[in-house]
Amino acid sequence: MHGLHLTADLHDCQCGPQWLIDGPALGAVCIKAVSAAGLQAVGKIVHSFPATPQGPGGVTATVLLAESHLCIHTWPEQRGVTLDVYVCNFGGDHSAKAHALMECLISVFQPRHSERNELRRGQIAA
């Protein structure tokens, strides 16, 4: 059950507003990024939240991967995004693909500042 879990908190994103508020557009770019990274999408759920007094609602996009998952949450009123990429490394090391997916998505949002974390999960059986 070993794998790699990457997270990123993106602040002051300079991307076009569609990437923060347009669920179908964000879902499509997620699928494209997954494929470009060499991972396999097996399902997708995208939920757009209603507008609030602070502005347009954000989006949560989740892509179920054969290798595990991708999840994105946007906060357009803060121009913020959280990214979560987890890949299982059972049967092969997908770590480079996880990093490629994360880099692709970060480039979409164009943050001025980001905080990234990397967690190695589980143990490799000897």
Give the residue numbers marked as catalytic: 68, 73, 88
Helix or strand (DSSP H, E) at 93: none
Q: Rounded CA gap, 89 and 2, in Å? A: 6
Q: Rounded CA gap, 2 and 103, in Å? A: 22
Return the DSSP state at 52: B
End-to-end CA distance of the chain: 13
Q: Rounded CA gap, 114 and 123, in Å? A: 28
* Secondary structure (3-state) at 90: coil
Token couple for 84: 């979560």
φ/ψ of residue 102, rounded to 5: -60, -45
